[in-house]
Amino acid sequence: MENNTIELTKTEWSVLECLWEEAPKTVMQIVKDMKERAGWAKSTSTTMVKRMTEKGLLRCEEGEKARLYYPMVDKEEAVHQETESFLGRVYQGSIGLMMSAMVKRNHLTEKDIAELHALLEAAEKKGE
């Protein structure tokens, strides 16, 4: 997909997660995965695959026996844009406000804190 703003619905995220884990997949493999993950009916999955292909979120190629579907959205870019959007909407773009909210609610584990320390140290080194 072109490097435009990526705005995905919850259901689109679900289908893309399935394909980010392993691609390509046939529509029937997607149907099976989505039934297991979200309890979707076959018609729901096939409709989503069709719509997402039309939107350019998925690419379809003819396989030997069935069409194969590939994600056209890079997972890292989608996650980055979703994070930026969330920060902007909820915390006015402030990572500090978000972290303050997490700390106040005791949502940080020892592992989370260690990871944050390592990230902050790396950021400080970049700035030197």
Percent of the chain with pLDDT over 70: 98
> Considering the domain boundaries, does residue 4 fall inside one?
no
Give the domain extent around 111: 75-127
- 32 and 82, same domain (yes or no): no
Distance, CA of 16 to CA of 19 (rounded, Å): 5
Q: In the predicted model, what is the mean pLDDT of residues 18-46?
A: 97
* pLDDT level of residue 102 (50, 70, 90 thresholds): confident
Last residue of a domain, which of 54, 71, 88? Answer: 71
> Considering the domain boundaries, does residue 42 fall inside one?
yes
Last residue of a domain, which of 36, 54, 71? Answer: 71
Tally of CA atoms within 13 A in the half-sphere of 100 that contains its CB: 7
Percent of the chain with pLDDT over 90: 76
- For the chain, the farthest-separated pair of C-alpha atoms sits apart, in whole angstroms, at 57
* pLDDT level of residue 3 (50, 70, 90 thresholds): low
CATH value at residue 21: 1.10.10.10
Question: Residue 1 above 60 pLDDT?
Answer: no
> Considering the domain boundaries, does residue 5 fall inside one?
no
Distance, CA of 41 to CA of 120 (rounded, Å): 45
pLDDT value, residue 6: 82
DSSP state of 26: -
Question: Residue 106 above 90 pLDDT?
Answer: no
